[in-house]
Amino acid sequence: MPFIPSAHLVARKPRFRATQFAVFTIILSVIFLSASLATAQKVELSLDASKSGAKISRNLFGQFAEHLGHGIYDGIWVGPDSTIPNTRGIRNDVVAALRAIKVPDVRWPGGCFADEYHWRNGIGPQRAVTLNPNWGGVIEPNTFGTHEFMDFINQIGAEAYVSINVGSGTRHEAADWLEYMTTAQPTTLQKERAANGHSAPYKVAFLGIGNESWDCGGNMTPDYYLDQLKAYSHFVRNYNPTQQTNDQMLKIAVGPGGSGPRWTEWTDTIMKAYQNHTWSWDIDGLSMHNYTVVKWPPSFKSVGFGETEYAQILKDTLGMDSLIKEQSAIMDKYDPQKKVALVIDEWGAWYAPLPGSNPGFLVQQNSMRDAILAALNLNIFARHADRVRMANIAQMINVLQAMIITDKEKMVLTPTYYVFKMYLPFQDAAFVPVTFDAGTYQHDGITLPRVDAIAAKAADGKLWLEVTNLDPNQSAEIEVNLSGASAKSASGETLTAAKVDSVNSFDAPNTVVPKPVSTRAQGGKLTLKLEPKSVTVLSLEQ
């Protein structure tokens, strides 16, 4: 992570009009999928419904929420006395939006913030007012602490991924925090938790042992971190009675932050030790952070850019695949049974701060380009689902590649949000291999695959297909060859926009929203026509 300067800081339509519009949209969409294929580039796509691979864990759709800018304060927390509708201080509009995308887990409180967070500041009636030196040097009121976080994830139906402070905290402090959160026994810490309003133990599903310990988390060498990891893994225990045999807390070690010798050495050190680990320490995951940034400091605009920047960013984001392969090869060497998950717990686009915003708050817009970027990454994760079993996009609200942007009482859902919504059928579905010749899209000396696709079988047996058309100028004609089943029709949603940098704003929140699409097989063939720069998710009806 680069140095971040710490400083400054629809009108409702009558119902009949809406219905007419919906019917019109459906008719248009059917036409879009089945007719006038003459100008589209053709791609043959084959999938065998009788074959299935690894489960695409729902945790690949996890979120990251750090005490950073307006990610927590204003984004989630407005306080019980706010005029913004809330439940115990947590925004109702944000909760409803996040419930709708079935957020599986939320990583909190950081990020770099986690390695300077002292949990006692965030409990009880009197909260310490501290500073947030990583992110603008602003005041941290600590009004959102452990209980508020647990209330929030409970409201949205997610699980807790808590990152403990290895950088500036102690083992004792972290062990106490876990006892405070999880014990059911009448200890002093349990009584304190009960006095603070929660006598029952909380569930901590995932534990992050430090964050970027090679950088903002303490600038540690791999060997030094390994020693810390062993001790924290042993002493920081989860006492929740329901998590002792089933549903055990998964411990996630700090892993690499890029490609090349520095990062392969890091992973090698941790995984080699893991191979010979004793009863007294263990890990279930190794984290990896990888932002789409092209170069540091982040200088690409998040809005008001053209096709060249579109292509450059997408090229950069596709590097996620080789990074995963590089790391997986090391992990395979020491852990061929793939017991340790590769956890991509920070990923997404990191652009230049929006003009006029506090640069320490990492405020950026979210465009159609980000929707394509999200789909490409989710597809990469799905293809590596046997090793990559968790991922957390950075970050959930108002920071970096956000799902949601708020401004006081206003809220808007981003194109990335809609991709996560469209991908819901892939949560916990079984990966089905798809083969296709992607072809190429070329612009300004940059060559990219023209299309990308994944398929999966859901628990109810339904077959789902996602196809991304990266080409911003040409539609793509997809001929689906299905073996092991027959498809009579397909229906779902597509997301596209007028421009690569189209965004949803408070004034125009429906600029980039999914619209329904469907098609029927003709002569035994299912053909889809995808709009330029689009993400499409369809169920194949047999």
Which residues are known catalytic residues? 212, 346
User: For the purposes of burial, counting CB atoms within 10 Å of the CB of 522, is it exposed (0-12), middle (13-18) or buried (19 or more)?
Assistant: exposed
Counting contacts by CB under 6 A, is residue 366 touching ligand AHR? Answer: no
- Report the residue from 148, 284, 346, 452 that binds ligand AHR according to the rule CB under 6 A: 346
Q: How far is the CB of 289 from ligand AHR (least distance, A)?
A: 6
- Report the residue from 57, 211, 292, 398 that binds ligand AHR according to the rule CB under 6 A: 211
- Report the residue from 205, 394, 470, 478 that binds ligand AHR according to the rule CB under 6 A: 394
Question: Which stretch in 276-284, 394-402, 442-450, 458-466 sits in contact with ligand AHR by CB under 6 A?
Answer: 394-402
Q: How far is CA 170 from CA 34, 67, 117, 210, 432, in A?
A: 62, 20, 11, 11, 45
- Report the residue from 69, 71, 109, 110 that binds ligand AHR according to the rule CB under 6 A: 110
Q: Distance between CA 503 and CA 513 in Å, rounded?
A: 10
Give whichever of 1 and 430 is closer to ligand AHR, judged by the CB atom. 1
Q: How far is the CB of 63 from ligand AHR (least distance, A)?
A: 12
Counting contacts by CB under 6 A, is residue 1 touching ligand AHR? Answer: yes
First to last CA, the chain: 48
**Segments in 45-170 forming alpha helices (H):** 92-100, 146-156
In the complex, residue closest to ligand AHR by CB? 111
Question: Which stretch in 109-117, 163-171, 425-433, 462-470 sits in contact with ligand AHR by CB under 6 A?
Answer: 109-117
Per-residue binding string, ligand AHR, 26-65, x by CB under 6 A, is ----------------------------------------
Long-range contacts of 96-100 (CB under 8 A, 24+ apart): 97/403, 97/404, 97/411, 97/413, 97/417, 98/63, 98/156, 98/158, 98/396, 98/403, 98/404, 99/155, 99/156, 99/157, 100/421
Question: Which stretch in 19-27, 69-77, 105-113, 442-450 sits in contact with ligand AHR by CB under 6 A?
Answer: 105-113
Q: How far is the CB of 345 from ligand AHR (least distance, A)?
A: 9
The DSSP annotation for 1-22 comes to -----------PPPHHHHHHHH
Per-residue binding string, ligand AHR, 432-471, x by CB under 6 A, is ----------------------------------------
**Tokens of residue 358, six digits:** 């506090």
DSSP single-letter state for residue 401? S
Q: How far is the CB of 442 from ligand AHR (least distance, A)?
A: 32
Give whichever of 395 and 518 is closer to ligand AHR, judged by the CB atom. 395
Other CB atoms closer than 10 Å to residue 113's CB: what's the count? 23
Give whichever of 212 and 452 is closer to ligand AHR, judged by the CB atom. 212
Q: Which residues contact 356 (CB under 8 A, 6 or more apart)?
A: none
User: For the purposes of burial, counting CB atoms within 10 Å of the CB of 242, is it exposed (0-12), middle (13-18) or buried (19 or more)?
Assistant: exposed
Q: Distance between CA 413 and CA 247 in Å, rounded?
A: 33
Q: Distance between CA 154 and CA 90 in Å, rounded?
A: 11
Please answer whether residues 284 and 209 qualify as being in contact, where contact means their C-beta atoms are separated by less than 8 angstroms: no
- Report the residue from 76, 112, 252, 388 that binds ligand AHR according to the rule CB under 6 A: 112
CA torsion 147→152→158→161, rounded to 10°? -50
Counting contacts by CB under 6 A, is residue 352 touching ligand AHR? Answer: no
Counting contacts by CB under 6 A, is residue 138 touching ligand AHR? Answer: no
Give whichever of 142 and 518 is closer to ligand AHR, judged by the CB atom. 142
Counting contacts by CB under 6 A, is residue 72 touching ligand AHR? Answer: no
Counting contacts by CB under 6 A, is residue 425 touching ligand AHR? Answer: no
Q: How far is the CB of 110 from ligand AHR (least distance, A)?
A: 5
CA torsion 529→531→537→541, rounded to 10°? -20
Total residues binding ligand AHR (CB under 6 A): 11
Question: Which stretch in 5-13, 110-118, 441-449, 517-525 sits in contact with ligand AHR by CB under 6 A?
Answer: 110-118
Give whichever of 29 and 414 is closer to ligand AHR, judged by the CB atom. 414
Q: Distance between CA 235 and CA 498 in Å, rounded?
A: 54
Give whichever of 220 and 500 is closer to ligand AHR, judged by the CB atom. 220
Counting contacts by CB under 6 A, is residue 109 touching ligand AHR? Answer: no
The DSSP annotation for 244-300 comes to SSSSPPEEEE---SSSSHHHHHHHHHHHHHHHT--TT---SEEEEEEEE-SSSSP--
Give whichever of 1 and 458 is closer to ligand AHR, judged by the CB atom. 1
3-state secondary structure of 383: helix
- Report the residue from 74, 140, 148, 212 that binds ligand AHR according to the rule CB under 6 A: 212
Other CB atoms closer than 10 Å to residue 295's CB: what's the count? 10
- Report the residue from 66, 105, 477, 501 that binds ligand AHR according to the rule CB under 6 A: 66
Given the rule CB under 6 A, which residues bind ligand AHR? 1, 66, 110-112, 211-212, 346, 394-395, 400
